[in-house]
């Protein structure tokens, strides 16, 4: 674990927030809030610093206990524990996805906090019912900003702000909204004008250096707590980048073809589910692929309920999917990268990458769904020839602990195949669209730490927003990827793609 104090950004000296004006807070024993759980390294490092009132940037692998690491310091000081008047929270947690907002709300309630959520997918009436009177609100950037702009959500009573999955929130897709929310919080609380310090915590499994520098503009002398696996010796990543991941998992790669990939995935899923309990998560690049592959896997995996999860599903269906998985009624999740960040599922035995992740960071988050909290797990990459160039780029940016054994086939790249554009075959994986994934040059590496606007492949817009809001970013037009995946159960687009604008966001 490394601890770093960055240079001061402000003359203000942070102090532990008080529970009432002029009164010192009563701090509970934070270890008692963990119950019989042993503190994880990230909790041992972050909780004391946050209890002392300091701003903290923490980077640790998924499943390492970051949610409790940032909630317990608030609960131990009585912040967010009481009912408030209207929508005027003391704690605000900003997350990139609805599912993560719901999950954080539920964990906060288990700690005795009064907690609600503000996300897309629910009506204005449901939003008011969820968020009114709550000391803690977890929400997605687009909806939070809308309510702040309309003066329905007041930040005047705010004492503590958390950016969960901060690298995603501060990427191009969310940077403007998050910045507006933080500036509104500083203005309404007076913290930006010599008033009481508004404490800010940021947590993520990956934290590229360039995005971290943006985050620190809103912080006062942040303490950095980095818990990460060893870096690959040959990696050309920025030396300041920190990446965590499923370091306790077994990492494997199988070379296959687009005609066989679906059957291979079904075979390995069936084997992983041969014993009661546990579940399998299968990642696909596009929303359309999730739907088609889930339908096909329902036929191949007799006796199992295969659940899709992607951003075009309405909120009730998304919540129903998560309920089935957490109750063990469904044991197979087929999802876009919406499921890659922060979502906690019971004992994920196997993660299957049916499509290669768009970036190394996305691969880290996907792989982190398994081997959580000390459990075993397997992270399996199914590599078809059409995606070898993309995989080479992703592999270069991964920490050594997440590298599967190198195979001879994956290094044999046929440029004609990488750039091929066909008409999906209807079984296995559809043919690839022409064009190269964002940030890739003929299969070459994408420098780590570069700001990113979007991740998923064909048909998915750059960046994401919850609840269907779409906003342009300053300094760029609205960019769209051309075309959705072809018919069949294809792997989406790989190969050189046209340049895109740096603007709008679509739902995940």
DSSP string for 54-72? --EEEEE-TTSSHHHHHHH
CA neighbours within 13 Å on the CB side: how many for 333? 35
What mean pLDDT do residues 222-226 have?
Answer: 88
CA atoms of 246 and 364, how far apart (whole Å): 7
Q: Indicate the Cα dihedral angle 100, 105, 106, 111, nearest 10°.
A: 130
What is the pLDDT, as a whole number, of residue 472? Answer: 36
What mean pLDDT do residues 392-404 have?
Answer: 89
DSSP class of residue 224? Answer: E
What is the pLDDT, as a whole number, of residue 441? Answer: 37
Q: Please list, in sequence order, all residues whose beta carbon lies within 8 angstroms of the beta carbon of residue 367, skipping any fewer than 6 positions away.
A: 245, 246, 249, 251, 351, 379, 402
Longest CA pairwise span in the chain (Å): 70
What mean pLDDT do residues 418-435 have?
Answer: 41
Percent of the chain with pLDDT over 90: 43
What mean pLDDT do residues 373-395 have?
Answer: 90
φ, ψ (nearest 5 deg) of residue 371: 55, 45
* 63 — pLDDT class (breaks 50, 70, 90): low
pLDDT at 32 over 60: yes
Instruction: Give the residue, 242 or 335, on which the prediction is more confident.
Output: 335
What mean pLDDT do residues 314-327 have?
Answer: 87
Please state the length of the chain: 508
What mean pLDDT do residues 218-246 have?
Answer: 60
CA atoms of 206 and 450, how far apart (whole Å): 12
Domain 250-433+450-468 has CATH 3.40.50.300: yes
What number does CATH give the domain 2-227? 3.40.50.300
What is the pLDDT, as a whole number, of residue 84? Answer: 94
pLDDT at 465 over 70: no
pLDDT at 474 over 70: no
Kindly state the tokens that stand for 244: 């965590």
CB atoms within 10 A of CB 470: 14
Domains 2-227 and 250-433+450-468 share a fold: yes
Percent of the chain with pLDDT over 70: 69
What is the pLDDT, as a whole number, of residue 281? Answer: 95
* 26 — pLDDT class (breaks 50, 70, 90): low
What mean pLDDT do residues 369-385 have?
Answer: 87
CA atoms of 435 and 427, how far apart (whole Å): 22
Whether the Cβ atoms of residue 238 and residue 231 lie closer than 8 Å to each other: no
Domain boundaries, the chain: 2-227, 250-433+450-468
CA atoms of 460 and 476, how far apart (whole Å): 18
What mean pLDDT do residues 103-116 have?
Answer: 95
∠260-263-269 over CA atoms, to 5°? 135
* 193 — pLDDT class (breaks 50, 70, 90): low
What mean pLDDT do residues 265-289 have?
Answer: 93
Instruction: Give the residue, 197 or 163, on which the prediction is more confident.
Output: 163
Name the one residue in this structure whose structure tokens are 């903290």. Answer: 56
What mean pLDDT do residues 89-94 have?
Answer: 97
What mean pLDDT do residues 105-109 have?
Answer: 95
In terms of average pLDDT, the best of 154-168, 340-354, 420-434 is 154-168
What is the pLDDT, as a whole number, of residue 446? Answer: 38
pLDDT at 506 over 50: no
What is the pLDDT, as a whole number, of residue 122? Answer: 86
What mean pLDDT do residues 141-146 have?
Answer: 94
Whether the Cβ atoms of residue 285 and residue 355 lie closer than 8 Å to each other: yes
Whole-number mean pLDDT of the chain? 76
What is the pLDDT, as a whole number, of residue 11? Answer: 37
What is the pLDDT, as a whole number, of residue 428? Answer: 43
What is the pLDDT, as a whole number, of residue 233? Answer: 39
Q: Mean pLDDT lowest for which of 57-61, 298-302, 323-327? A: 57-61
């Amino acid at each position: 674990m490394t601890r770093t104090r960055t240079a001061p950004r402000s003359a203000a000296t942070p102090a532990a927030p008080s529970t009432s004006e002029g009164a010192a807070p009563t701090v509970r024993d934070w270890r008692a809030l963990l119950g019989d759980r042993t503190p994880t390294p990230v909790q041992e490092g972050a909780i004391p610093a946050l209890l002392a009132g300091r701003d903290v940037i923490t980077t640790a692998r998924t499943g390492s206990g970051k949610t409790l690491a940032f909630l317990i310091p608030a609960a131990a000081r009585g912040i967010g524990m009481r009912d408030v008047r209207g929508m005027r929270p003391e704690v605000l947690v900003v997350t990139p996805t609805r599912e993560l907002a719901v999950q954080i709300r539920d964990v906060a309630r288990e700690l005795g906090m009064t907690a609600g959520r503000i996300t897309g997918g629910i009506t204005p009436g449901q939003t008011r019912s969820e968020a009114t009177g709550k000391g803690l609100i977890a929400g997605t950037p687009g909806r939070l900003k809308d309510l702040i702009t309309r003066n329905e959500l007041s930040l005047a009573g705010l004492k503590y702000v958390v950016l969960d999955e901060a690298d995603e929130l501060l990427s191009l897709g969310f940077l403007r909204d998050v910045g507006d929310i933080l500036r509104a919080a500083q203005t309404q609380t007076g913290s930006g004008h010599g008033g009481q310090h508004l404490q800010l915590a940021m947590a993520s499994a990956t934290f590229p250096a360039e995005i971290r520098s943006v985050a620190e503009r809103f912080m006062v002398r942040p303490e950095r707590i980095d818990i990460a696996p060893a870096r690959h010796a040959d990696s050309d990543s920025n030396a300041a980048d920190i990446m965590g991941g499923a370091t306790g998992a077994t990492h494997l790669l199988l070379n296959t073809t687009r005609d066989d990939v679906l059957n291979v995935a079904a075979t390995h899923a069936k084997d992983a589910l041969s014993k009661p309990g546990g579940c399998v998560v299968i990642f696909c690049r596009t929303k359309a692929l999730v739907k088609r592959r889930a339908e096909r896997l329902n036929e191949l995996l007799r006796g199992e309920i295969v659940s899709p999860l992607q951003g075009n599903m309405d909120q009730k269906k998304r919540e129903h999917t998560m309920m089935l998985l957490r109750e063990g009624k469904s044991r197979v999740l087929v999802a876009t990268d919406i499921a890659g960040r922060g979502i906690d599922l019971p004992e994920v035995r196997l993660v299957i990458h049916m499509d290669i992740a768009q970036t190394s960071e996305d691969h880290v988050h996907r792989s982190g769904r398994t081997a959580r909290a000390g459990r075993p797990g397997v992270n399996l990459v199914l590599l078809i020839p059409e995606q070898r160039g993309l995989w080479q780029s992703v592999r270069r940016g991964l920490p050594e602990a997440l590298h599967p054994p190198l195979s001879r086939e994956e290094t044999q790249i046929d440029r004609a195949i990488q750039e091929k554009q066909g008409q999906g075959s209807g079984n296995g994986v559809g043919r690839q669209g022409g064009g190269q994934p964002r940030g890739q040059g003929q299969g070459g590496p994408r420098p780590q730490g570069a700001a990113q606007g979007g991740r998923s492949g064909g048909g998915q817009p750059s960046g994401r927003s919850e609840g269907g809001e779409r906003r342009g970013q300053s300094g760029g037009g609205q960019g769209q990827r051309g075309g959705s995946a072809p018919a069949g159960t294809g792997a989406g687009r790989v190969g050189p793609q046209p340049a895109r604008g740096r603007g709008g966001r679509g739902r995940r």
